[in-house]
Amino acid sequence: MEKCEAAARDIRRETLNHHVSAWHLDLASLKSIREFAAKITEEKERVHILINNAAVMRCPHWTTEDGFEMQFGVNHLGHFLLTNLLLDTLKASAPSRIVNLSSLAHVAGHMDFDDLNWEERTYDTKAAYCQSKLAVVLFTKELSRRLQGTGVTVNALHPGVARTELGRHTGMHSSAFSSFTLGPIFWLLVKSPQLAAQPSTYLAVAEELEGVSGKYFDGFKEKPPAPEAEDEEVAQRLWAESARLVGLEVPSVRGQRLPE
């Protein structure tokens, strides 16, 4: 929260916009997500833009407060629940937009519905990350279908590699070779956080993207995602399983709004 509050202060100072707040949200806790969403709906009449940006990457075999594998739980399930809890407010605020941060790594992902939480398999932190980011694109596709005609759009995005702490578990600096040889090359190729945030901003506000929904963007350009990411049956199965895991009811009629 200290970093978040400091960022909010910087934005208020630079923009002279005092309507910038820092609120606590733990995407590894369903309780925290529900409390955050309740606060939003209670205190904010409108939500025009929701950018689901948070993520963990290639962490050890950790679990969330509710027992989900950490990367699947935070990168997908946490955003899935948060978005669903805010859907009524987003619809009431239409036209509104949702931007889901995925990754190019989704192309290497596969949805293993027999073991989504890595309880049976030997844990592979890279494969778990790729699965979580594939889930984000599938969620985007199915949510877009459900939102047709509501004035709410949703798109998935690979923003590029940013110079942040996201990769702290990847082992880039765990050896002298990677730190002193590969490290400098890596840092020359990655984007600053400011540059990496530009595609998210573009998807959130660009006038030419009005009405565009269910797409995958690599930076500023729309591109086709991995074939599995466009499988409607996989997307619908993931939605149903995700709803079950986070405690949302699955509608009995195709396309019906999820109850609160």
Q: Mind telling me the catalytic residues?
A: 129
Integer Cα distance of 154 and 191 in angstroms: 24
- DSSP assignment letter at 166: G
**CB proximity list for 98: less than 8 A, separation 6 or greater:** 49, 50, 51, 52, 83, 90, 143, 152, 153, 154, 155
49-52 β-sheet, strand order: 49-52, 96-101, 152-158, 216-218, 221-222
Residue 219 CA from chain centroid, whole number: 15
Integer Cα distance of 160 and 197 in angstroms: 9
Find the helix or strand (DSSP H, E) in which 77 lies: none
Residue 181 corresponds to which amino acid? T
Whether 128 contacts 60, CB under 8 Å: no
Task: Return the closest-CA partner of residue 172 out of 183, 185, 161.
Answer: 183
Sign for the CA dihedral angle at 69, 72, 78, 84 comes to negative
- DSSP assignment letter at 106: G
